[in-house]
Amino acid sequence: MGSVCSRPIGIRSASVDDAFWSAEQELVRTAVLPYQWKALNDQVPGAAPSYCMHNFRAAAAQNRRLSAQASKDGRGNAPTYTNRGFNCLPEDPSHPDPDKFYGYVFQDTDFSKWVEAVGYSLAHHPDEELERTADEAIETVCAAQLENGYLDTYYILNGMDRHFTDLKDHHELYCMGHLIEGAIAYYEGTGKTRLLHAAERFADYVASVFGPEPGRLHGYPGHEIAEMALVRLYETTGVRRYLDLASYFINQRGTEPLYFEQEDRERAEHDGVEYQPDTDWPRPYAYYQAHEPVADQRQAVGHAVRAGYLYAGAADVARLTGDGALDEAVHALWRDIVDRKLYITGGVGANADSESHSYAYDLPNDTGYCETCASVALVFFARRMLELDPRAEYGDVMELALYNNVLDGMALDGKSFFYGNPLEVRPQTRRNHDPRYSYVPIVRKKWFGCACCPPNLARLVESVQDYAYTVGEDGATVFTHLYIGGQVSLDLAGGPLTLCMHSDLPWSGGACATVRLGAGGGGGSLTARECTLAFRLPAWAGGEAAADCVKVHRSCADDAPITKRVSQGYLYLSGPWRDGDGIDFDFDMPVRAMAANPLVSQDAGRVALVRGPIVFCAEERDNGANLHLLHLDGRALLTDGRGIDKAHGGQVEVEPFTFMAGSAPDDPGAAGHVDQVSRPMVRLRVPAWRQSDSQAETRPLYEPWGPVVHEPATALLIPYFAWSNRGENEMRVFLDVG
């Protein structure tokens, strides 16, 4: 049996009941979603207003007005286009004009991301009030839609005569993509089709305007997401048109003549301004991944979120259309990211200036961007790669990004958020308004005018179970990619099968799965089911060697054996599974000291400590200031090749503890304020030494070098995702070793 392609299971098929992830989902449900709803209604004091619902209401009112006029005099006076800029704010913030569009051109997506998370939440946590709020919002959104299906309030309110004339920067197709994602999630979560139909109507309109036929627009989204959203719409509705449109967007992208260049020229001509050629590096329009055909792309370039969304969509299309050139491209792009452009935290996008991938091996710890959304996009890409080709590396990276760079995006009280997630900060850069670090956050913010990250994180966390499993296209294999407690119920090999998971991750490597055959996961079927349960063997547990840590125990000892096969890092357990059969996982979870490739100049002489999927960091709070003087003792990090090992002299202590979040300032509205909350975690104590900085301020700036005096110390490392929850302070992931 070879490996099989697989596909998503759908949000209702799996539920979470897990000490770690239930807490995260609870936080999103109880703190983030209500906050987000307030934010998109401009009701968070001190936070940048979204104007999202304002815009939908304004568009709905305009539609009603125009429709009333049209029924009176036969035509409505729709506005003619006024360019109101990329981010238009009211002159008097306390009195926005109720008829005008405000905020970023893509502000509609604030709603779509929220309703997506709401859909996932309602799937497992019915909440009448939340559902009523969502239904009302959906009515407003649907009322903003035009007769022809178009639905982007920026152009509806500013003038439809210029819609689809700035695909590069005006995000209409990005808005469509998010609308589709939100609509499907809400449909999956509630069964309601109102928003789904609106999304289909928008997609139908777009499908009638774009395409290879003469007279149509031969363009594609400036900010990708529509590609994977359309694939999902195809998989939800079965309407082939949506897959064709996704495929068109991907394969048209970057072909000559470059659409964005033509568009730029035409817009300049229309506006009577001088045409300014694009100057992206290494090629014009690389920022948009529109510099060459996607099938020819081999280097991950440009805006890291867009890139991740594009690659995810391209992997989808490759899987569904069998396009070998696209398949080759996404595999090469994956390698480029993972081998040359990935932070150890699962962050991507080293270049903060343009939120973009930097060049190979350029991974600055202090100025690197690592946008939360870019890691969300990487998780999307990784799951699509798993669907194409179940290979443990994809699951490893997905898990890494999820537990570290993504979760770092949210404070432990769920009330403030990181846009960028640096691996090293020094508060003096902020105190001194250092322009080189203007993109590097030191404490989380409450909300953002450009609010992509918090809701993106929310929708991913609320649907994390959807990333834990896929089902093989043979209909007889279920893949477990992430070890998350809960259950997944599927029709497998001709009948219902439920896998009940318990997991101790991420704090220890124990997990178990119980097989239930029969409807509702309740068991009861007495006949065995011939099928395959495939489990990822995490790299952190030793990769394929970890197969030995997995034991099957049968409810009936007489059954034909379950065969074990390992392929590409997955353990395939095939045979006649019977109700009550179980699988025990006892993965080794050693602390690993990881060094970067020697070509990463920023990490020379340094290590990062990792255990299981969790990356650790040192905070000033635990280790004092001037972390550049703290050196892990190399002798304590000696390893058996896989993890730090006592037999080899390793001396890192793993200590379960209760992390107490909560920052000093009493003002709950202050940037960086975190409520007092506690979370069980694990921390590390590592033998270390410090270079003395006593009385450094009275010593000369340069002195003759001499061997450094080692002051003995113990480095105390906490999980990276938990940093900056105890007030502003210094932090480092990669620490000097010596």
**Catalytic center residues:** 355, 452
Binding of a copy of itself at residue 712 (CB under 8 A)?
no
Is residue 642 near a copy of itself by the rule CB under 8 A? yes
Using rule CB under 8 A, residue 430 touches a copy of itself = no
Interface pick for a copy of itself out of 99, 434, 548, 653 (rule CB under 8 A): 434
Shortest distance, CB of residue 506 to a copy of itself, whole angstroms? 18
Please give the full DSSP string across 386-420, using - where no structure is assigned. Answer: HHHS--HHHHHHHHHHIIIIIGGGB-TTSS-B-SS
In DSSP notation, 82-120 reads ----SEE--SSTTS--TTS--EETTTHHHHHHHHHHHHH
Contacting residue, 214, 272, 707, 712, with a copy of itself by CB under 8 A:
707
The answer to whether 172 and 162 have CB atoms below 8 angstroms apart is no
Q: Is 670 exposed, middle or buried (0-12, 13-18, 19+ CB in 10 A)?
A: middle
Of 92, 97, 112, 93, which is closest to residue 52 (Cα–Cα)? 112
Residue 379 φ/ψ, nearest 5 degrees: -60, -45
Closest CA to 343 of 436, 437, 406: 406
Compute the least distance from the CB of residue 20 to a copy of itself, in Å. Answer: 24
Question: Is 699 one of the binding residues for a copy of itself (CB under 8 A)?
Answer: yes
Q: Is 710 in the site for a copy of itself (CB under 8 A)?
A: no
Tokens of 23: 């807490």
Identity of the residue, 349 or 521, whose beta carbon is nearer to a copy of itself in the bound complex: 349
Given the rule CB under 8 A, which of 77-85, 432-440, 681-689, 711-719 is the region that contacts a copy of itself? 432-440
Q: Closest CB to a copy of itself among 242 and 285? A: 285
Q: 172-190 and 128-144 are packed helices; what angle lies between their axes, rounded to 10 degrees? A: 140
Radius of gyration of the chain (CA): 26
**Which CB atom, from 72 or from 702, has the smaller least distance to a copy of itself?**
702
Task: Choose the binding region for a copy of itself from 133-141, 426-434, 481-489, 550-558 (rule: CB under 8 A).
Answer: 426-434
The closest of 306, 320, 316 to 349, measured between CA atoms, is 306
User: What is the CA angle 303-305-306, rounded to 5?
Assistant: 65
Distance from C-alpha of 373 to C-alpha of 454, rounded to nearest angstrom: 8
- Distance of alpha carbon 231 from alpha carbon 313, whole angstroms: 8
Residues 45-64 that bind a copy of itself (CB under 8 A): none
Residue 620 to residue 355: CA distance in whole angstroms: 27
Q: Are β-strands 103-104 and 630-632 bridged in parallel, bridged antiparallel, or unpaired?
A: unpaired
Minimum CB–partner distance for residue 349 and a copy of itself (Å): 14
- By CB under 8 A, tell whether 551 contacts a copy of itself: no
What lies within 8 Å, CB to CB, of 396 at 6+ separation is 536, 538, 539, 540, 569
Q: Other C-beta atoms within 10 Å of 197: how many? A: 15
Site for a copy of itself (CB under 8 A): which residue of 73, 274, 702, 712?
Answer: 702
Tokens representing residue 9 in the block: 């299971």
Beta-bridge partner residues of 575: 531
* Residue 214 binds to a copy of itself (criterion: CB under 8 A): no
Structure tokens at 202: 């928008």
Smallest distance from a copy of itself to CB 587, Å: 17
Does residue 634 interact with a copy of itself by CB under 8 A? Answer: yes
302-341 residues in contact with a copy of itself (CB under 8 A) are 338-340
Which segment (150-158, 198-206, 414-422, 634-642) binds a copy of itself by CB under 8 A? Answer: 634-642
Closer by beta carbon to a copy of itself, 57 or else 606: 606
670 near a copy of itself (CB under 8 A): no
- Near a copy of itself by CB under 8 A: residue from 268, 526, 545, 599: 599
**In the complex, minimum distance from the CB of residue 345 to a copy of itself, in angstroms, rounded to a whole number:** 11
Number of residues that bind a copy of itself (CB under 8 A): 63
Cβ neighbours of residue 646 under 8 Å, at least 6 residues apart?
none
Shortest CB 593 distance to a copy of itself, Å: 4
Sole window of 168-176, 311-319, 593-601, 658-666 interacting with a copy of itself (rule: CB under 8 A): 593-601
Site string for a copy of itself, 280-299 (x = CB under 8 A): -xx-----------------
Cβ closer to a copy of itself: 118 or 593?
593
For a copy of itself, give the closer residue by CB, 322 or 707: 707
Cβ neighbours around 445 below 10 Å, total:
17
List 6's β-bridge partners, or say none.
Answer: 472
353 binds a copy of itself, rule: CB under 8 A = yes
Give 550 or 637: the residue with its C-beta nearer to a copy of itself: 637
DSSP for 549-561 reads GEEEE-SSTTSPP
Helix axes 453-462, 108-124, angle to 10 degrees: 20
Closest distance to a copy of itself from the beta carbon of 721 (Å): 18
Among 181, 442, 736, 456, residue whose Cα is nearest residue 173: 181
Q: Report the DSSP pairing between strands 630-632 and 6-7.
A: unpaired
Q: How far is the CB of 605 from a copy of itself (least distance, A)?
A: 7
Q: Is 426 in the site for a copy of itself (CB under 8 A)?
A: yes
Of 43 and 432, CB closest to a copy of itself: 432
* Segment 357 to 376, residues that bind a copy of itself, using CB under 8 A: 358-359, 362, 364, 367
Residues 167 and 220: beta-carbon distance below 8 Å: yes
For residue 338, report the phi and psi dihedrals to the nearest 5 degrees: -70, -30
Give me the amino acid identity at 113. K
Of 628, 683, 685, 710, which one interacts with a copy of itself (CB under 8 A)?
628
Q: How far is the CB of 264 from a copy of itself (least distance, A)?
A: 20
User: How far is residue 708 CA from its own chain's centroid?
Assistant: 43
Closer to a copy of itself by Cβ: residue 364 or 454: 364
Of the two residues 237 and 354, which places its CB atom closer to a copy of itself in the complex? Answer: 354
Task: State the minimum distance, in angstroms, from the CB of residue 367 to a copy of itself.
Answer: 6
Looking at beta carbons only, is 100 or 642 nearer to a copy of itself? 642
In DSSP terms, 276 is beta-bridged to none
Q: Which residues of the chain form contacts with a copy of itself (CB under 8 A)?
A: 281-282, 338-340, 342, 344, 351, 353-354, 358-359, 362, 364, 367, 426, 428, 432-436, 592-601, 604-605, 607-608, 626, 628-629, 634, 637-639, 641-643, 691-693, 696-697, 699-707, 736-738
